[in-house]
Amino acid sequence: MEIMNENMGYDRAITTFSPDGRLFQVEYAREAVKKGSCVVSVCLNKKEKTVVFCTKKRHSNIVLSIEKIFKIDEHIAAASAGLIADARLLIDDARIKAQQNQIMYNEPISIFSLAKFIADKKQLYTQYAGVRPYGVSFLIGGVNHDAVLYETDPSGFMMQARARAIGQSADKVNEFLEKQYREDMDANKAIKLAVESMKKAEEKFQIDEANVWTLTEKGIKEYSIDQIKKIIE
């Protein structure tokens, strides 16, 4: 007789906890994030108020590219790992939230409030039957008074970080970031660290594949390959 898995059935509804207190659908969503391409972000405040995002450019064919970094407002951006369709929906909601805050309070939304809004929406989708968790994690960064960086995962968990990676090989990259990150770095050194971190995620990663954005008090900047190479070399 076939031995039935003791956990069988506990993953059929998001509202059902397993006997050891796990929500399997949330764990499956986290696995979807781990299969996504790596995303790295570095946040600086000492010398310069800067948030750096770095991803690998994804081209499924000659004419189609996949967006991984999203502008939310003039002072906030986010990078995603996991299901791009889920990321797109949450980014659209985040952009609306940012504009509502501007209209209601006549000031830009804080990065904390925006990250918490996304985390709250994710957590809401772990409470009700008939829905599934969002299979995406974000690194959300920006500059209000200071440069700040937050991570949100499919469970609705949210934390602040100085340097962080999500997606494929994130554990290995985060160990590298913990050793190499310095508070007194300038923006160019942070970009170099982010690109070097991507090489830890993918051995065959090439500088020509790097997609780098920075956020400062002056706004958002996307770097060309030539600019990235000049910084790295």
At 45 the three-state DSSP class reads: coil
Give yes or no for residue 4 having a pLDDT over 50. Answer: no
Answer whether CATH 3.60.20.10 is correct for domain 24-232. yes
Quickly tell me which residue has 């990150």 as its tokens: 181
Domain boundaries, the chain: 24-232
Structure pTM?
A: 0.92
Model pLDDT for residues 178-224, shown as the tens digit of each residue:
999 999 999 999 999 999 999 999 888 889 999 999 999 999 999 99
Tokens 């830890």: give the residue.
200
Q: Hey, what amino acid is at 85?
A: A
CA separation, residue 13 to residues 20, 83, 98, 225 (Å): 16, 20, 32, 46
pLDDT of residue 157: 96
CA separation for the pair 48, 116 (Å, rounded): 25
Residue bearing tokens 């050891």: 20
**Exposed/middle/buried for residue 117 (C-beta within 10 Å: 0-12, 13-18, 19+):** buried
